[in-house]
Amino acid sequence: MDWKNLGLIKMLLIGLFLCLCSIAAAEKHHAKTHTFKTIPVTDNLWMLQGKGGNIAILTGEQGILMVDDDYKVMSDALKKQIQHYGGLDKLTYIINTHWHGDHTEGNLSLGNHAQIIAHDSVRSRLLSSQEIKLFNMVSEPYPEEALPNVTYLQAMKLYMNGEEVSIVHYPGGHTDGDSIVFFKQANVVHMGDHHFSGFFPFVDIEHGGNVLTMAANVKLILAIIDEQTKVIPGHGPLSTKADLQDFYDMLLGTSAEVQKMSEQGLTLKQIQEKGLSDRWQSWTDGFLSTDVWIGILYGSLQKK
Protein backbone atom coordinates (compact mmCIF):
# COMPACT_ATOMS: atom_id res chain seq x y z
CA MET A 1 0.00 0.00 0.00
CA ASP A 2 1.27 3.49 -0.87
CA TRP A 3 1.07 5.10 2.59
CA LYS A 4 2.14 8.48 1.19
CA ASN A 5 -0.82 8.56 -1.20
CA LEU A 6 -3.14 7.28 1.52
CA GLY A 7 -2.09 10.15 3.78
CA LEU A 8 -2.68 12.64 0.97
CA ILE A 9 -6.16 11.23 0.34
CA LYS A 10 -6.93 11.44 4.06
CA MET A 11 -5.86 15.10 4.16
CA LEU A 12 -8.02 15.90 1.13
CA LEU A 13 -11.04 14.21 2.71
CA ILE A 14 -10.56 16.15 5.94
CA GLY A 15 -10.27 19.39 3.97
CA LEU A 16 -13.46 18.58 2.05
CA PHE A 17 -15.27 17.80 5.30
CA LEU A 18 -14.23 21.11 6.87
CA CYS A 19 -15.26 22.98 3.74
CA LEU A 20 -18.71 21.36 3.75
CA CYS A 21 -19.11 22.19 7.45
CA SER A 22 -18.29 25.82 6.75
CA ILE A 23 -20.83 25.97 3.91
CA ALA A 24 -23.48 24.31 6.08
CA ALA A 25 -22.91 26.84 8.85
CA ALA A 26 -23.25 29.74 6.43
CA GLU A 27 -26.47 28.34 4.97
CA LYS A 28 -27.89 27.94 8.47
CA HIS A 29 -27.96 31.72 8.87
CA HIS A 30 -28.42 32.71 5.20
CA ALA A 31 -30.67 29.88 4.16
CA LYS A 32 -31.42 29.03 0.52
CA THR A 33 -35.12 29.59 1.01
CA HIS A 34 -37.83 31.58 -0.72
CA THR A 35 -40.22 31.43 2.20
CA PHE A 36 -40.40 33.20 5.53
CA LYS A 37 -40.62 31.82 9.03
CA THR A 38 -43.06 33.89 11.08
CA ILE A 39 -42.46 34.46 14.79
CA PRO A 40 -45.14 36.33 16.78
CA VAL A 41 -43.62 38.95 19.07
CA THR A 42 -46.78 40.68 20.37
CA ASP A 43 -50.42 40.77 19.24
CA ASN A 44 -49.61 43.13 16.36
CA LEU A 45 -45.84 42.79 15.96
CA TRP A 46 -44.14 39.98 14.06
CA MET A 47 -40.62 38.87 13.21
CA LEU A 48 -39.97 37.32 9.80
CA GLN A 49 -36.91 35.22 9.01
CA GLY A 50 -36.01 34.62 5.39
CA LYS A 51 -32.67 34.60 3.60
CA GLY A 52 -31.19 37.89 4.87
CA GLY A 53 -31.68 40.10 7.89
CA ASN A 54 -34.61 39.65 10.25
CA ILE A 55 -37.72 41.70 9.45
CA ALA A 56 -40.16 43.27 11.91
CA ILE A 57 -43.75 44.02 10.90
CA LEU A 58 -46.10 46.22 12.94
CA THR A 59 -49.75 45.87 11.92
CA GLY A 60 -52.96 47.75 12.65
CA GLU A 61 -55.72 49.97 11.30
CA GLN A 62 -53.25 52.71 10.34
CA GLY A 63 -51.29 50.40 8.08
CA ILE A 64 -48.15 48.31 8.10
CA LEU A 65 -44.72 49.41 9.27
CA MET A 66 -41.84 47.15 8.26
CA VAL A 67 -38.25 47.15 9.49
CA ASP A 68 -35.89 45.92 6.74
CA ASP A 69 -36.97 43.95 3.67
CA ASP A 70 -34.42 41.20 2.91
CA TYR A 71 -32.78 40.38 -0.44
CA LYS A 72 -34.37 41.09 -3.82
CA VAL A 73 -34.83 37.36 -4.46
CA MET A 74 -37.13 37.24 -1.44
CA SER A 75 -39.44 40.03 -2.61
CA ASP A 76 -42.13 37.83 -4.16
CA ALA A 77 -42.30 35.76 -0.98
CA LEU A 78 -42.35 38.94 1.10
CA LYS A 79 -45.23 40.39 -0.92
CA LYS A 80 -47.13 37.14 -0.40
CA GLN A 81 -46.40 37.31 3.33
CA ILE A 82 -47.66 40.90 3.52
CA GLN A 83 -51.04 39.70 2.24
CA HIS A 84 -51.58 38.10 5.66
CA TYR A 85 -51.42 41.55 7.26
CA GLY A 86 -53.67 43.45 4.86
CA GLY A 87 -51.73 43.54 1.61
CA LEU A 88 -49.43 46.00 -0.13
CA ASP A 89 -52.07 48.74 -0.04
CA LYS A 90 -51.60 48.77 3.73
CA LEU A 91 -47.81 49.03 3.59
CA THR A 92 -47.06 52.55 4.85
CA TYR A 93 -43.44 52.68 6.05
CA ILE A 94 -40.27 50.69 5.50
CA ILE A 95 -37.34 51.41 7.83
CA ASN A 96 -33.87 50.42 6.61
CA THR A 97 -31.61 49.80 9.60
CA HIS A 98 -28.53 50.21 7.34
CA TRP A 99 -27.58 49.99 3.65
CA HIS A 100 -26.51 46.33 3.21
CA GLY A 101 -28.42 44.44 0.54
CA ASP A 102 -29.67 41.68 2.84
CA HIS A 103 -31.67 44.42 4.60
CA THR A 104 -32.52 46.80 1.72
CA GLU A 105 -32.83 45.01 -1.63
CA GLY A 106 -36.56 44.59 -1.01
CA ASN A 107 -36.74 48.37 -1.55
CA LEU A 108 -36.46 47.64 -5.27
CA SER A 109 -39.85 45.90 -5.29
CA LEU A 110 -41.60 47.64 -2.40
CA GLY A 111 -40.38 51.23 -2.72
CA ASN A 112 -43.38 52.23 -4.84
CA HIS A 113 -45.74 51.09 -2.09
CA ALA A 114 -44.32 52.82 0.98
CA GLN A 115 -42.23 55.64 2.39
CA ILE A 116 -38.68 54.41 3.04
CA ILE A 117 -37.01 55.76 6.18
CA ALA A 118 -33.31 55.57 7.02
CA HIS A 119 -30.36 57.51 8.34
CA ASP A 120 -28.94 60.17 6.00
CA SER A 121 -25.86 58.10 5.18
CA VAL A 122 -27.96 55.13 4.02
CA ARG A 123 -29.41 57.19 1.19
CA SER A 124 -25.91 58.41 0.35
CA ARG A 125 -24.56 54.86 0.26
CA LEU A 126 -27.40 53.57 -1.92
CA LEU A 127 -26.97 56.45 -4.38
CA SER A 128 -23.57 55.11 -5.40
CA SER A 129 -21.82 51.80 -6.03
CA GLN A 130 -20.62 50.04 -2.87
CA GLU A 131 -18.35 47.04 -2.37
CA ILE A 132 -17.88 44.60 0.50
CA LYS A 133 -14.62 42.85 -0.30
CA LEU A 134 -14.98 40.13 2.34
CA PHE A 135 -18.06 38.72 0.57
CA ASN A 136 -17.00 39.75 -2.95
CA MET A 137 -20.22 41.77 -3.08
CA VAL A 138 -20.84 44.87 -5.20
CA SER A 139 -24.02 46.89 -4.73
CA GLU A 140 -25.00 49.03 -7.71
CA PRO A 141 -26.76 52.40 -7.21
CA TYR A 142 -30.45 52.04 -6.37
CA PRO A 143 -33.09 53.73 -8.55
CA GLU A 144 -34.97 56.67 -7.08
CA GLU A 145 -38.04 54.65 -6.10
CA ALA A 146 -35.88 52.29 -4.02
CA LEU A 147 -34.03 55.00 -2.10
CA PRO A 148 -34.98 56.25 1.36
CA ASN A 149 -37.16 59.30 0.79
CA VAL A 150 -37.41 60.21 4.48
CA THR A 151 -34.05 60.55 6.22
CA TYR A 152 -32.91 61.78 9.61
CA LEU A 153 -29.67 62.76 11.33
CA GLN A 154 -29.93 61.70 14.99
CA ALA A 155 -33.42 60.42 15.87
CA MET A 156 -37.05 60.51 14.81
CA LYS A 157 -40.40 59.13 15.96
CA LEU A 158 -43.45 57.63 14.30
CA TYR A 159 -46.85 57.17 15.93
CA MET A 160 -49.12 54.51 14.45
CA ASN A 161 -51.27 51.57 15.46
CA GLY A 162 -51.13 52.66 19.11
CA GLU A 163 -47.34 52.44 19.09
CA GLU A 164 -44.57 54.98 19.62
CA VAL A 165 -41.73 53.98 17.31
CA SER A 166 -38.35 55.61 17.95
CA ILE A 167 -35.67 55.37 15.27
CA VAL A 168 -32.26 56.24 16.69
CA HIS A 169 -28.87 56.53 15.00
CA TYR A 170 -26.06 54.63 16.74
CA PRO A 171 -23.04 55.55 14.60
CA GLY A 172 -19.88 53.62 13.89
CA GLY A 173 -20.96 50.17 15.10
CA HIS A 174 -21.91 47.88 12.23
CA THR A 175 -21.68 50.66 9.60
CA ASP A 176 -21.78 54.47 9.62
CA GLY A 177 -25.56 54.57 9.20
CA ASP A 178 -27.06 52.15 11.71
CA SER A 179 -30.55 52.66 13.10
CA ILE A 180 -31.95 50.93 16.18
CA VAL A 181 -35.76 50.81 16.28
CA PHE A 182 -37.62 50.90 19.61
CA PHE A 183 -41.29 49.96 19.97
CA LYS A 184 -42.16 51.62 23.28
CA GLN A 185 -45.59 50.17 24.10
CA ALA A 186 -44.61 46.66 22.99
CA ASN A 187 -41.25 46.83 24.82
CA VAL A 188 -39.46 45.52 21.74
CA VAL A 189 -36.24 46.65 20.09
CA HIS A 190 -35.04 45.81 16.59
CA MET A 191 -31.25 45.92 16.76
CA GLY A 192 -30.44 45.75 13.07
CA ASP A 193 -26.95 44.31 12.69
CA HIS A 194 -25.85 45.61 16.08
CA HIS A 195 -26.83 42.13 17.26
CA PHE A 196 -26.05 38.74 15.75
CA SER A 197 -27.63 36.45 18.31
CA GLY A 198 -25.27 33.65 19.33
CA PHE A 199 -22.55 33.95 16.69
CA PHE A 200 -19.74 36.22 15.52
CA PRO A 201 -21.06 39.30 13.67
CA PHE A 202 -19.92 40.89 10.47
CA VAL A 203 -18.67 44.40 11.21
CA ASP A 204 -18.21 46.55 8.10
CA ILE A 205 -14.98 48.38 8.91
CA GLU A 206 -14.66 49.67 5.34
CA HIS A 207 -17.95 51.53 5.71
CA GLY A 208 -17.53 53.05 9.14
CA GLY A 209 -18.07 50.08 11.43
CA ASN A 210 -15.92 49.12 14.41
CA VAL A 211 -16.21 46.33 16.98
CA LEU A 212 -15.31 48.59 19.90
CA THR A 213 -17.90 51.17 18.92
CA MET A 214 -20.47 48.42 18.40
CA ALA A 215 -19.79 47.25 21.96
CA ALA A 216 -20.16 50.81 23.28
CA ASN A 217 -23.48 51.20 21.43
CA VAL A 218 -24.79 47.87 22.71
CA LYS A 219 -23.86 48.93 26.25
CA LEU A 220 -26.01 52.06 25.85
CA ILE A 221 -28.96 49.96 24.69
CA LEU A 222 -28.56 47.47 27.54
CA ALA A 223 -28.88 50.40 29.94
CA ILE A 224 -32.30 51.44 28.61
CA ILE A 225 -34.05 48.08 28.09
CA ASP A 226 -35.26 45.71 30.80
CA GLU A 227 -35.51 41.97 31.43
CA GLN A 228 -38.90 41.80 29.70
CA THR A 229 -37.73 43.52 26.51
CA LYS A 230 -37.94 41.34 23.42
CA VAL A 231 -34.88 41.79 21.23
CA ILE A 232 -35.08 41.29 17.47
CA PRO A 233 -31.50 40.76 16.23
CA GLY A 234 -30.34 41.49 12.73
CA HIS A 235 -29.56 37.78 12.43
CA GLY A 236 -30.45 34.85 14.65
CA PRO A 237 -33.44 33.92 16.82
CA LEU A 238 -35.76 36.23 18.74
CA SER A 239 -33.76 37.15 21.81
CA THR A 240 -33.76 38.62 25.30
CA LYS A 241 -31.73 41.18 27.19
CA ALA A 242 -29.63 38.31 28.56
CA ASP A 243 -28.80 37.23 25.00
CA LEU A 244 -27.78 40.78 24.13
CA GLN A 245 -25.65 40.92 27.29
CA ASP A 246 -23.90 37.70 26.19
CA PHE A 247 -23.24 39.29 22.80
CA TYR A 248 -21.77 42.38 24.48
CA ASP A 249 -19.56 40.24 26.71
CA MET A 250 -18.31 38.37 23.64
CA LEU A 251 -17.46 41.62 21.82
CA LEU A 252 -15.43 42.85 24.79
CA GLY A 253 -13.87 39.50 25.64
CA THR A 254 -12.65 38.62 22.16
CA SER A 255 -11.45 42.20 21.59
CA ALA A 256 -9.41 42.03 24.80
CA GLU A 257 -7.78 38.74 23.78
CA VAL A 258 -6.74 40.05 20.36
CA GLN A 259 -5.54 43.33 21.84
CA LYS A 260 -3.38 41.50 24.39
CA MET A 261 -1.77 39.35 21.70
CA SER A 262 -1.23 42.41 19.53
CA GLU A 263 0.46 44.23 22.40
CA GLN A 264 2.76 41.22 22.78
CA GLY A 265 3.97 41.91 19.25
CA LEU A 266 2.09 39.14 17.42
CA THR A 267 1.11 39.81 13.82
CA LEU A 268 -2.42 39.24 12.56
CA LYS A 269 -1.37 35.92 11.02
CA GLN A 270 0.23 34.80 14.27
CA ILE A 271 -2.88 35.77 16.25
CA GLN A 272 -5.04 33.80 13.82
CA GLU A 273 -2.75 30.79 14.18
CA LYS A 274 -2.96 31.02 17.97
CA GLY A 275 -6.72 31.59 17.93
CA LEU A 276 -9.14 32.63 20.66
CA SER A 277 -9.74 30.89 23.97
CA ASP A 278 -12.16 27.95 24.14
CA ARG A 279 -14.66 30.21 25.91
CA TRP A 280 -15.83 31.53 22.52
CA GLN A 281 -16.11 28.20 20.71
CA SER A 282 -19.90 28.26 20.59
CA TRP A 283 -19.85 31.63 18.81
CA THR A 284 -18.32 30.01 15.72
CA ASP A 285 -21.75 28.54 14.88
CA GLY A 286 -22.38 31.20 12.24
CA PHE A 287 -21.14 32.28 8.84
CA LEU A 288 -17.80 33.78 9.96
CA SER A 289 -14.82 31.65 10.86
CA THR A 290 -12.73 32.47 13.92
CA ASP A 291 -9.92 33.63 11.61
CA VAL A 292 -12.23 36.12 9.88
CA TRP A 293 -13.56 37.37 13.22
CA ILE A 294 -10.01 37.85 14.50
CA GLY A 295 -9.28 39.84 11.33
CA ILE A 296 -12.27 42.10 12.02
CA LEU A 297 -11.20 42.54 15.64
CA TYR A 298 -7.62 43.30 14.61
CA GLY A 299 -8.81 45.81 12.00
CA SER A 300 -11.08 47.52 14.53
CA LEU A 301 -8.27 47.84 17.07
CA GLN A 302 -5.95 49.26 14.42
CA LYS A 303 -8.57 51.84 13.41
CA LYS A 304 -9.08 52.89 17.03
- The tens place of each residue's pLDDT in the chain, 304 residues long, gives 443 343 433 333 333 333 333 334 444 444 566 899 999 999 999 999 999 999 999 999 999 999 999 999 999 999 999 999 999 999 999 999 999 999 999 999 999 999 999 999 999 999 999 999 888 889 999 999 999 999 999 999 999 999 999 999 999 999 999 999 999 999 999 999 999 999 999 999 999 999 999 999 999 999 999 999 999 999 999 999 999 999 999 999 999 999 999 999 999 999 999 999 999 999 998 889 999 999 999 999 998 7
Contact by Cβ (8 Å): 295, 33: no
For domain 27-246, give its CATH number from 3.40.50.2300, 3.40.50.720, 3.90.1150.10, 3.60.15.10.
3.60.15.10
Element (H, E) at 156: strand 155-160
* Rg of the Cα atoms in the chain: 20
pLDDT at 23: 37
- The b/e string for 182-212 (b: 16+ C-beta within 10 A; e otherwise) is bbeebebbbbbbbbbbbbbbbbbbebbbbbb
pTM confidence score? 0.89
pLDDT at 285: 85
Contact by Cβ (8 Å): 164, 185: yes
